């Protein structure tokens, strides 16, 4: 058994492939997850559950098995199924005299700083009240522009939001494989690790191992330990908290950015690109300076003030991302000229390596 800093907060992500492998919620599995969460709570370990399953629950209730591609129909299924899903959880928590609460989120809740902090305060208050937050993407109102695409990414963002020590992603496989062997520990999610991913398409799920690795990268960059393990392993949650060897462990980075910079790196959706000359590149990367308009050589995309954009050098290499003080039209008109204030303040710029 490996020893890690005491886990006081854990985010548990369970996807549709684990929760409903046959197209219907597995009640026994839900009961096991709930019991483990209740047992952890008695040991003063607070849990946040990120659970998929709304769409498949709606489909099951209506007697459909094939997931449609029409987003409006998916939204209707999600609206119906979210009620079913929460009733399944609420009933089982009630048997343990425990309450759970529903929190539905979209990218917009992370993209806007005020809504981001409000989401944190709500979840914090629920935990302090002894209530288990159950989080899902708000599929009933989500469009392609504001969708996470999968709950793996959402679980990583939530882990950073509440400063969890551990993110446990429950999968339908044992972990990350290299050939026929499970990779036990990953120190750095680099290109070599990403090449181990084999794309597998499921008719009911949105994510795969690729999305789980992306989530692991976000969480580890925020200093959070991540485990990908089989959701049907007995006592999988308590084993993960104890530090037992299960699945694939992704080690957290030791050096992490301040909270606001983590929000810029992870929570903000990139809306455009700014290409800069060598002088600006040196200034923002090596001298800790703000980005000025006179160093911008090219502007791509449509964005507004305070949106997040990527900053690239003239060769197209990503240098980092940051919050802009001007919209795209203003910057296109002022390209190469000096404006009254900086385009990206140094406090609102995150170098490559934190987000990528």
Residues 236, 285: one domain? no
Domain contains 262? no
CATH code for the domain in which residue 333 is found: 2.30.130.10
Structure tokens, 304: 């507004």
Same domain for 239 and 319, yes or no, is: no
CB 234 within 8 A of CB 174: no
**What average pLDDT does range 98-127 have in this prediction?**
94
Return the structure tokens found at 156.
């990583």
Q: Evaluate whether 344 touches 323 at the Cβ level (below 8 Å).
A: yes
103 forms bridges with which residues in the sheet?
A: 135
Distance of alpha carbon 292 from alpha carbon 280, whole angstroms: 7
Whether 1 is covered by a domain: the verdict is no
Which secondary structure element, helix H or strand E, spans residue 350, and what is its range?
A: strand 349-351
Percent of the chain at pLDDT above 70? 92
In a domain, 356, yes or no: no
- Among 127-136, 139-148, 206-215, 263-272, where is mean pLDDT lowest? 139-148
Q: What is the pLDDT of residue 178?
A: 85
Domain boundary among 207, 232, 256: 256
β-pairing, 46-51 vs 9-14, is parallel
The rounded distance, in Å, linking the Cα atoms of 150 and 171 is 13
DSSP state of 286: H
Structure tokens at 336: 């190469």
Listed residues 256, 284, 309: the one ending a domain: 256
Of 123, 121, 52, the closest CA to residue 88 belongs to: 52
**In-domain check, residue 263:** no
CA 101/CA 122 separation, integer angstroms = 10
Instruction: Calculate mean pLDDT across residues 234-257.
Output: 90
Give the CATH number, domain containing residue 242: 3.40.1160.10
Per-residue confidence at 251, pLDDT binned at 50, 70, 90? very high
Question: Residue 139: what pLDDT?
Answer: 79
**Same domain for 273 and 252:** no
Q: What is the predicted pLDDT for the residue at 149?
A: 64
Examine the domain organization and report whether 40 and 144 are in the same domain: yes
**248 and 282: one domain?**
no
Mean of the per-residue pLDDT values of the chain: 89
Q: Are 51 and 132 in contact (CB under 8 A)?
A: no
Phi-psi region of 175 (alpha: psi -120 to 50; beta: other; left: phi over 0): left
Nearest to 50 by CA among 197, 196, 219: 219
CA distances from 176 to 6, 110, 246, 293 (A): 25, 28, 11, 44
- DSSP H helical segments within the chain, as ranges? 16-19, 27-42, 54-62, 71-95, 107-111, 113-128, 151-161, 191-194, 209-221, 236-242, 259-262, 278-286, 328-334
Burial class (CB in 10 A: 0-12, 13-18, 19+), 163: middle
Mean pLDDT value across residues 275-284:
96
- pLDDT of residue 269 exceeding 70: yes
| Residues 52, 182 within the same domain | yes
Q: Which of 1-5, 66-70, 276-280 has the highest mean pLDDT?
A: 276-280
Does residue 2 sit within a domain? Answer: no
pLDDT score recorded for residue 193: 84
Q: What angle do CA 56, 124, 82 make, to 5 degrees?
A: 15
Report how far residue 83's alpha carbon sits from residue 87's, in angstroms, rounded to the nearest whole number: 6
Task: Kindly state whether residues 234 and 278 are assigned to the same domain.
Answer: no
Are 241 and 294 contained in the same domain? no
Domain that holds residue 343: 268-351
Structure tokens at 25: 């919620």
Model confidence band, residue 146 (pLDDT cutoffs 50, 70, 90): very low
Q: How confident is the model at residue 165 (pLDDT cuts 50, 70, 90)?
A: very high
* Same domain, yes or no: 238 and 287: no
**Statement to judge: residues 308 and 166 lie in one domain:** no
Cα angle: 138, vertex 154, 59; to 5 degrees: 45
- Is the predicted pLDDT of residue 353 greater than 60, yes or no? no
In a domain, 88, yes or no: yes
Residue 257: is its pLDDT beyond 60?
A: yes
For 20-46, the pLDDT digits (tens) are 988 899 999 999 999 999 999 999 999
In a domain? residue 225? yes
Residue 226: is its pLDDT beyond 50? yes
Tens of pLDDT, residue by residue over 186-207, are: 998 887 888 887 654 454 445 5
* One domain for residues 57 and 186: yes
Residue 259 has pLDDT above 60, yes or no: yes
Q: Are residues 239 and 296 in the same domain?
A: no
Q: Report the range of poorest mean pLDDT among 43-57, 137-151, 186-200, 215-229.
A: 137-151
- For residue 235, being part of any structural domain is answered with yes
Q: How many domains does the chain have?
A: 2
| pTM exceeds 0.75, yes or no | yes
Q: Which two tokens stand for residue 197?
A: 């991913």
Give the total residue count for the chain.
Answer: 356
How large is the average pLDDT for residues 256-266? 82
**Cα angle 66-68-71, degrees, rounded to a multiple of 5:** 155
Last residue of one domain, picked from the residues 256, 284, 316: 256
Which element (helix H / strand E) includes 28? Answer: helix 27-42
Q: Are 226 and 219 in contact (CB under 8 A)?
A: yes
Q: Is the pLDDT of residue 161 over 60?
A: yes
CB atoms within 10 A of CB 257: 20
**Mean of the pLDDT values across residues 291-305?**
95
Burial degree of 288 (CB within 10 A; 0-12, 13-18, 19+)? exposed
């Amino acid at each position: 058994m490996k020893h890690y800093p005491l886990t006081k907060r854990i985010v548990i992500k369970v996807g549709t492939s684990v929760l409903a492998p046959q197209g219907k919620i597995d009640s026994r599995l839900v009961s096991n997850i709930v019991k483990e969460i209740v047992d952890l709570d008695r040991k003063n370990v607070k849990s946040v559950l990120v659970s998929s399953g709304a769409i498949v629950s709606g489909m099951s209730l209506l007697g459909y098995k094939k997931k449609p591609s029409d987003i409006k129909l998916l939204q209707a299924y999600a609206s119906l199924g979210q009620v079913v899903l929460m009733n399944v959880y609420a009933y089982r928590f009630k048997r343990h005299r425990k309450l759970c609460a529903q929190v539905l989120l979209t990218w917009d809740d992370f993209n806007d700083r005020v809504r981001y902090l409000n989401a944190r305060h709500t979840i914090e208050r629920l935990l302090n009240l002894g209530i288990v937050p159950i989080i899902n993407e708000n599929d009933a109102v989500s469009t392609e522009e504001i969708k996470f695409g999968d709950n793996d990414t959402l679980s990583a963002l939530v882990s950073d939001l509440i400063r969890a020590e551990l993110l446990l992603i429950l999968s339908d496989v044992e972990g990350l494989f290299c050939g026929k062997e499970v990779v036990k520990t990953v120190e750095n999610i680099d290109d070599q690790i990403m090449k181990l991913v084999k794309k597998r398409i499921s008719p009911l799920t949105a994510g795969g191992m690729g999305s789980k690795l992306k989530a692991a990268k976000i969480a580890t960059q925020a200093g959070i330990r991540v485990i990908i393990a089989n959701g049907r392993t007995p006592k999988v949650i308590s084993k993960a908290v104890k530090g037992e060897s299960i699945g694939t462990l992704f080690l957290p980075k030791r050096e992490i950015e301040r909270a606001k910079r983590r929000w810029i790196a992870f929570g903000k959706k990139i809306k455009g690109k700014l290409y800069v000359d060598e002088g600006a590149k040196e200034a923002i990367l090596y001298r800790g300076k703000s980005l000025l308009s006179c160093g911008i050589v090219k502007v791509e995309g449509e964005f507004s003030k305070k949106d997040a954009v990527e900053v690239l050098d003239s060769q197209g290499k990503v240098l980092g991302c940051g919050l802009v003080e001007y919209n795209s039209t203003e910057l296109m008109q002022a390209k190469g000229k000096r404006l009254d204030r900086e385009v990206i303040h140094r406090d609102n710029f995150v170098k490559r390596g934190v987000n990528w």
